[in-house]
Amino acid sequence: MFDSLLFDLMFVIFLGIASQWLAWRFRMPAIVLMSIAGLLVGPILGFINPQDSFGDLFGPIISLAVAIILFEGSLNLDFREIRGFNKPLFRIVTLGAFIAWIAGSLAAHYLAGLSWAVAFVIGGLFIVTGPTVILPLLRQAKLKPKPAAILKWEGIVVDPFGALLAVFAFECIQFINDEVTLKALLIFFAASLFAALLGFAAGRVLGWMFESGNVPEFLKSPMVFAVVLLTFVLSDEIMHETGLLAVTAMGMTMANMHIASIKDMRHFKENISVLLISSIFVMLTASLNLQTLTRILDWRIIIFVAAMLFIVRPLSIWLSTIGTDLTNKEKTLIGWIAPRGIVALTVSGYFANVMLEKGYEDADILIALTFALAFSTVVAHGFSISWVAKKLNLVASESPGVLIVGGNRFTTELAKSLHDLQHQVLIMDNSFEHLSEARKLGLNSQVGEILSEQTEYKVDLTPYPLMIAATEVDSYNALVCSNFVPELGRKSLFQTALHQGDANDFHQSLGGRILFNQKETIYQLNERVVKGQIIRKTLITNQYSYTQYLRDREEDTLLLYVMKENGKLEFYTANHEVLAGSGDTVVSLTPPTKEKAKVQERIEADRAKQSQPKE
C-alpha cells in the first residue's frame, strides 16, 4: 500500500494486536485470526509483503523473536509443577517424540511423495508444537492442571529438539552420502552440548547476580532481554539451530532457581511475547505467495496432513504413555492437540533452501507442506480444544469460582452462599483458627500465604477467576489484588472498603475494586453477621422484577452480588451498578426481619393450638 518499511512494521504489529483483541472479544482462537489476517493483507490482497520489505533483516528478526518467545515459555518450567506426572511427560518428550519422528517421516515419504532424505528431515521438524501456539490455546481452553501442564511442557521442551532433530537428520544424510565426515557429525553433537551448557551457565550467573543484589530492579528485565539474545546468537553462530536449545536451557535454569523477582520478569516477558507472537504470525503468513497457497490443495499434501492429525500424533501419544497413570480421556485430548507454529515455518524455509542447493528437487514443496500442516492444525485444534475438553470433562471449571483471602464471619457466610449456588469457592488465610467456621460448614479452605511462591504449586488456582481480598489490613488487601492483576485482570479483583484513612485518597490502581460501597469495611460486615443478619437469595422473574425487588427490600439491606441466569457472577462495587433481569438471582445481606416474623407466627400458632379446649 505504502512503500515504507516503517508503515509495514506498524501495520504488522497493529494487525497482530487487533487479532488478539478480536479473539478475546469474541472468544475465538487468536492464532487462527492472526493467520487469516496475514493471508488477507499478504498473498490475497497484496497490501504488504514483509519478506520483501524487511529484506535481509526478515530472517534475523524472526529468529530473535522465536528465541525470546521460547525463553519466556521455558521461564515457566518449574519442576515442582510436574510432581506426580513426570513419568508420562518424560515418555512423551522422548519416546513419543521418536515415534512421531519415524511415523511422520514414513507419512512424508509414502503419502507426500518426498524422498527418504527430505522426509526424515521434515519428519524431525514436525515433532514440534511450541509455545507460540500451545500457550494461547491453553489460555483459551482453561484445562485441568495435569493435561495443561503436559501440553505446555511438551511444547516448550520439544520445540528446540525438533529443530535439532532436523539438523541431525540432515547431517546424517550427508554423512551417509559421504558429503561430511564423522568428525563433522561429532562436532554437531558437541555444539548441541555446548549450547545446553551455555544456556545453563548464563541462567546460573544471571540468577546469582539478581539474588546477590548486583543488579538493580529497573535493570533486571532489560538485562535478561539482552543476555537471552546474546546467548541465542552466540550459540547459533557456532552451530545453526542450537540457539533455541541454549535459551530453553537458560529459561529452565532460572525458573528452578526460584529467584524472588522472577515473577516480575515473567510478566515483562509475557507482555513482550504476546506482542512478538502476534507480529511474527502476521509477518510469516503475509510473506507467503499465491503459488504456495495453491500447492496446498495438492491431494498428496491433504492426505499427509490428515495422517499427521489422525494417525501420527495419537499413535505417538498412546504408545509412549503405555504403563503411565494418564487416563484414556487425557491421552485422547493430548493425542489430539498438537498445533505447529513459528519454529516449524521458519526452520522449514531454511531447510528448503539448503536441500535445494544440495540437489534435492522435491524440497521445493517443504514450505507449502509445512504451512498446510501448521494452518490446518491451528484451525482444527484452535476451534476444537475447548469443545473436546468439555466433552472429556477436562475443563478446570464450568462456573466461575471465587478465591476469598481472609477468614472471618462475613467471608465464611459469603463463601457458603456461593457454595450453595454451585460455585467453587476457596477461603485462604494464614491462621488455622480463622478458618475454623469454614471447616465446620464443610467449605473448601486452605491455610497459607496467598503471596507465597509456594502457593502456585500447592494450590491449584485455575478454577478461581475471581478473587476477593477481605482481611483486616487494607494495605495487604491492596497488595494481594495488585499482585494478581497480570493473571486475573483488575475487573476480577475485589477488596473490602478501607477502614484506615480517607477512601477518596485511595487510587484504584493500587488494589482491587471496592466491594459493595465505600462505607462497608470488613469490620462493619462482620458486625452485621454477628448481629444476626443473614444472606438471602431472591430470584428475579417476569412477575417479580428487579425494580420491584429494590422497592420492597428492607432499608438496611446490603446488596452483595447477582448470579446471572447463565451462572456468571457480578459483584456490587462502589463505582458499578449491577442490573438484574428475569432468571437472575440477587444475593443480599439483610436483617432477619422476615425470619423473625415467621418464627413469631409459628409461636403464636402453637399457643393457639394449646389454648384450644380439649374434646
Identify which has the larger pLDDT, 530 or 173: 530
Question: Quick one: cell of 390?
Answer: 468439555
Q: How confident is the model at residue 559 (pLDDT cuts 50, 70, 90)?
A: confident
DSSP letter, residue 80: G
Residue 384 grid coordinates = 476444537
pLDDT tens, position by position, 123-172: 888 887 766 677 677 766 778 778 888 888 788 777 767 777 777 777 77
Q: Given a cut of 90, is residue 548 above it in pLDDT?
A: no
- The share of the chain scoring above pLDDT 70, in percent, equals 83
Task: Report the mean per-residue pLDDT for the chain.
Answer: 80
pLDDT of residue 22: 85
- In whole angstroms, what is the distance from residue 589 CA to residue 503 CA? 22
165 exposure class (CB count in 10 Å sphere: 0-12, 13-18, 19+): buried
In sequence order, the 6+-apart residues with CB closer than 8 A to the CB of 402 are 415, 418, 423, 424, 425, 426, 464, 466, 467, 468, 569
- pLDDT value of residue 284: 77
What are 454's three cell numbers?
Answer: 509456594
| 391 vs 385: CA distance, rounded Å | 10
DSSP H stretches of helix in 404-459: 409-420, 436-440, 455-458
Place of cell 530453553: 248
- Reply yes or no on whether the pLDDT at 527 is more than 80: yes
Residue among 339, 407, 438 nearest 135 (CA): 339
Radius of gyration of the chain, Cα coordinates, nearest whole angstrom: 29
Domains of the chain: 58-391 (1.20.1530.20), 402-600 (3.40.50.720)
The pLDDT score that the predictor gives to residue 314 is: 93
Model confidence at 173: pLDDT above 80: no
Name, in order, each residue with C-beta under 8 angstroms of 26's C-beta and a sequence gap of 6 or more: none
Confidence of residue 601 (pLDDT cuts 50, 70, 90): low
Task: Specify which residues 562 forms β-bridges with.
Answer: 570, 586
Per-residue pLDDT, averaged over 471-497, amounts to 83
The pLDDT value recorded for residue 262 is: 65
Share of the chain above pLDDT 90, in %: 7
* Predicted pLDDT of residue 594: 60
pLDDT digits (tens, 9 = 90+) for 578-594: 888 888 888 888 887 66
pLDDT of residue 318 exceeding 90: yes
514 three-state secondary structure: strand
Read out DSSP for 533-601? -EEEEEE--SSS-HHHHHHHS-TT-EEEEEE-TTS-EEE-BTTB-----TT-EEEEEE-THHHHHHHHH
- The lowest-confidence range among 170-174, 178-182, 250-254 is 178-182
Specify whether the CB–CB gap between 11 and 51 falls below 8 A. no
Taking each helix axis as running N to C, give the angle between helix 409-420 and helix 522-530, from 0 to 180 degrees, rounded to the nearest 10: 80
Residue environment code for 553-568, b if the CB has 16+ CB neighbours within 10 A, otherwise e: beeebbbbbbbeeeee
Looking at per-residue pLDDT, the higher value among 209 and 289 belongs to 209
Looking at 128-258, list the stretches that DSSP marks H as alpha helix, in order from N- to C-terminal side.
131-141, 145-176, 182-211, 217-238, 243-255
Tell me the per-residue pLDDT of 337-390, one tens digit each, with 9 for 90 and over: 888 876 677 677 767 777 777 778 888 888 788 888 888 888 888 888 888 888
Q: Which three cell numbers stand for residue 9?
A: 512494521
- The pLDDT, as a whole number, for residue 198 is 92
What pLDDT score was predicted for residue 457?
55
Q: What is the pLDDT averaged over residues 499-523?
A: 69
Confidence of residue 82 (pLDDT cuts 50, 70, 90): low
- The half-sphere exposure of 561 on its side-chain side, counting CA atoms within 13 A, is 19
Task: Tell me the mean pLDDT in the region 464-468.
Answer: 86
- Greater model confidence, 82 or 367: 367
Does residue 238 contact residue 77 with C-beta atoms inside 8 Å?
Answer: no
pLDDT band of 312, cuts 50, 70, 90: very high
Query: What phi and psi, each to the nearest 5 degrees, are found at residue 590?
Result: -130, 155
pLDDT for 293 beyond 80 = no
Q: Which residues pair with 571 in a beta bridge?
A: 561
* pLDDT tens sequence across 195-252: 889 999 999 998 888 888 888 877 887 888 889 889 989 988 887 767 878 888 888 8
pLDDT value for 178: 64
